[in-house]
Amino acid sequence: MMTLKTKKLQGEITLNGSKSISNRILMIQAILGEEFPILGLSNAKDTTTLKGLLSKLHEPILDAGEAGTAYRFMTAYLAWKGNNQVLMGTKRMCERPIGVLADALNGLGAQIHYLGKKGYPPLQMKTHEIDGWKQRVCMGADVSSQFISALLLIAPVLPKGIELILEGKVISRPYIQMTLNLMEEFGILALWHNDMIKVPPQKYQPKSFRVEADWSAASYYYSLVALSDSAQLQLNGLQEKSVQGDAVIVDIMKQFGVKTTFNKKGILLTKEPTEITHFKYDCSDCPDIAQTLAVMCAALEVNALLTGLETLTIKETDRIHAVKVELEKLGCEIETTANSLWVKKGITNKNQAARVGTYDDHRMAMAFAPLALVLNQVKMEDKQVVNKSYPKFWDDFNYLGLTNY
């Protein structure tokens, strides 16, 4: 179990490198086929899994485990390579759709076959001739931006490049822009106009690269500061001009009394007075911080409506349902739809202990951890689940005064 000794936060933490950036840089290096210095690479399990897969490209069967980004990026990469290989995953991974990406790749010229249920992992990659690949492909943009990013990363090395037509509402737009920005860092020019992204044939150019700290990880500290009485919390490694969509947390949290001051090391978070009672936000561009916002609002007894949550049902778990279940255990009143979550009544009884189900989802554990500031005790079903994105999470929370029992 865990609880915080004080509601006054003070300290300095150096955050882990961004998993999202790290995974994209690893793919660029693999596609380039030439190593270059990568500083501050994330030690998240998803990143180490991807790195491991890229070191075993000679093997006929590859297993991405539970790493969703790794699975999607490797699907496009292996389809481009055109070797006879099988890409496996965990039971949950085989329940997460991959058809939008696999079918788009097949439409371009790949040879991907489903070994189980159509549209889902595991996948069989077959040998093909890359020279015959087409240029234009349509892809649904309303399922996961990672499908689009996976395709964009290999686009420059395809014979004709890619003209990608996006169909439907674009989900997590900043993550697609992140991919394009990082590609540009390595010499790739692309044009995104309306519903088309055009990437001509080009070559990646090697260069040394430093990975920015993870804004998703920073969101949990923003939540802590919002729940605190006072705070002077320095988070190192974050940049004011970030390619990460979750950097929007800076503006969101102003409403909750969290002031962000950028400095040479990163950011300083301080607490200011606030009287917020209602909150509404479209999380389409930042779905990874939706759980954090929902739990924080419940703890502050803020009536909150979060929308744009379409992708949360196909993550490590159905995150909309999981948050609803865990908050209702604490006496909250929660209303949900397929793409929204409404905190109608927050945690009115602070004199209670919480046992949080983690659902094999790293963000469930980290989003609920700040409740240690307002409840008597908080116990996680599985603390190790944070290794997926932030292995040092509990160590850093301990440093701030968190006590584990």
Residues noted as catalytic: 288
Q: Is 172 annotated as a binding residue?
A: yes
Asked if 374 and 227 count as a contact pair (C-beta separation under 8 A), the reply is yes
Q: State the Cα torsion 334-336-342-348 to the nearest 10°.
A: 10
Region of residue 385 (left: phi > 0; alpha: psi -120 to 50; beta: else)? alpha
Rounded CA separation 42/39 (Å): 9
Q: Is 210 annotated as a binding residue?
A: no
Q: Is 173 annotated as a binding residue?
A: no
At what angle are helices 45-54 and 68-81 packed, to 10 degrees?
20
Helices (H), 86-186: 99-108, 145-154, 173-185
- Residue identified by tokens 């950028």 is 262
Q: Is 315 annotated as a binding residue?
A: yes
The upper half-sphere exposure of residue 14, i.e. CA atoms within 13 Å in the direction of its Cβ, equals 5
Q: Is 228 annotated as a binding residue?
A: no
Residue 88 β-bridge partners: 63
Q: Which residues contact 224 (CB under 8 A, 6 or more apart)?
A: 9, 231, 233, 370, 373, 400
Q: Is 68 annotated as a binding residue?
A: yes
- Residue identified by tokens 């509404």 is 280
Write out the two tokens for 43: 């030690």
Q: Is 244 annotated as a binding residue?
A: no
The upper half-sphere exposure of residue 326, i.e. CA atoms within 13 Å in the direction of its Cβ, equals 31
Q: Is 388 annotated as a binding residue?
A: yes
The upper half-sphere exposure of residue 10, i.e. CA atoms within 13 Å in the direction of its Cβ, equals 4
Asked if 219 and 257 count as a contact pair (C-beta separation under 8 A), the reply is no
- Residue identified by tokens 């697609």 is 176
Q: Is 288 annotated as a binding residue?
A: yes
Q: What DSSP assignment string belongs to 14-41?
A: EPPBPHHHHHHHHHHHHHHTS---EES-
For the chain, helix, strand, coil in percent to 5 are 40, 25, 35
Asked if 341 and 281 count as a contact pair (C-beta separation under 8 A), the reply is no
Q: Is 285 annotated as a binding residue?
A: no
Binding residues for phosphoenolpyruvate: 19, 68, 96, 146, 319, 363, 388
Binding residues: 19-20, 24, 68, 96, 144-146, 172, 288, 315, 319, 363, 388
Binding residues for 3-phosphoshikimate: 19-20, 24, 144-146, 172, 288, 315
